[in-house]
Structure 1
């Protein structure tokens, strides 16, 4: 992991973890079930800048750090796995590629299917004892509604970052 020997990469990664933890505390409630959260944005940005391993690390450490700073329930390692997988998904779609609406939408759809509806629903059913299908039905509409919202949020942040020299240099770091 030679990227972590680069001071710029290490400091950027540390800042993305801190930003993801802080943004995890903010949410905009739309209904009792639907809320806009912002903690995905730094994970997606790290993934686009530095690839799947560092994106996954930011996702996982943001989950652990958020729990340490402000626990909102019991710690469950499944959500840390979800954080790591979200970094992998965003990197597989965005790393070393042009940031476009279609690409960000595709990343968000993959994230929603694999993490939002798949893994997180599984973790909730394990944690609270209900069947997977009960949680899936409760979460399905919410996750579908959040796809365009999260896509728009990510485009607002990732598109301007992708045209900076920092993004172009980060993509070339080996």
Structure 2
């Protein structure tokens, strides 16, 4: 019952958390920090590994998640959308620009921010944040956009992603947890 009441309290706090995050858009410090993490994400995009035309391995989620923890869902969602546009111009792999992926990247940043912003860094919370992004963005939105673009079956596109993501999930969560712990430690030292 304690976990249920804790979850209910977090859900009730979403409007307040979102409003606090929206105020981050007026802070020069937050905008500067987000910009640096955006630049890092665009840089990491240059090292994306293409498994096929529809499946790739990338570490651009790491700076997005760190921004979500530091600056919240609103600013990080906006940053995610801007990063998608910047990635298109800096590494165009021949595919046409599709605004659906910009929505996906907004949701990625928003979800990381919603789950990680002003919360203690725990392995469970990190895994929950990454799992929510995986389900909403990787298994639902991105296959939907690809299905719309290429006319392939949605279920087939999801199936291809499940195998890759089940394999990578523990590795990505471990990397994300280490990054978030280090970020929290650095932030705590800077505030002292």
Aligned length: 168
Q: 2:131 maps to what in 1?
A: 109
Taking a change above 3 Å as real, the CA distance of residues 69 and 27 of structure 1, as seen in their structure-2 partners, is: closer
The structure 1 segments of at least 4 consecutive aligned residues displaced by more than 3 Å after TM superposition are: 31-36, 165-169
Deviation at 1:94, TM superposition (A): 0.5
Is the counterpart of residue 159 in structure 1 residue 181 in structure 2?
yes
Give the secondary structure class of the aligned counterpart of 1:9. helix
Query: Greater CA radius of gyration, 1 or 2?
Result: 2
Counterpart-to-counterpart distance in 2, 1:65 and 1:165:
27
Q: 2:157 maps to what in 1?
A: 135
C-alpha RMSD over aligned residues: 2.0
CA deviation profile, 1:21-80 (whole Å, cap 9, x unmatched): 111121356x66875411001111111001001110121111100001121111111111
TM-score of the aligned structures, taking structure 1 as reference length: 0.88
| Stretches of structure 1 lacking an aligned partner (at least 5 in a row) | 170-174
> Is the CA contact (8 Å cut-off) linking 1:13 and 1:58 kept in structure 2?
yes
Give the secondary structure class of the aligned counterpart of 2:92. coil
Is the counterpart of residue 56 in structure 1 residue 64 in structure 2?
no
Match of 2:41 among 20, 40, 52: 20
Counterpart-to-counterpart distance in 2, 1:126 and 1:167:
47
Counterpart-to-counterpart distance in 1, 2:57 and 2:174:
12
Counterpart-to-counterpart distance in 1, 2:130 and 2:124:
10
Q: Which moved more, 1:62-71 or 1:142-151?
A: 142-151
| Stretches of structure 2 lacking an aligned partner (at least 5 in a row) | 1-21
> Is the CA contact (8 Å cut-off) linking 1:161 and 1:167 kept in structure 2?
no
Give the secondary structure class of the aligned counterpart of 1:98. coil
Alignment map for 1:33-72 (pairs within 5 Å): 36-72=57-93
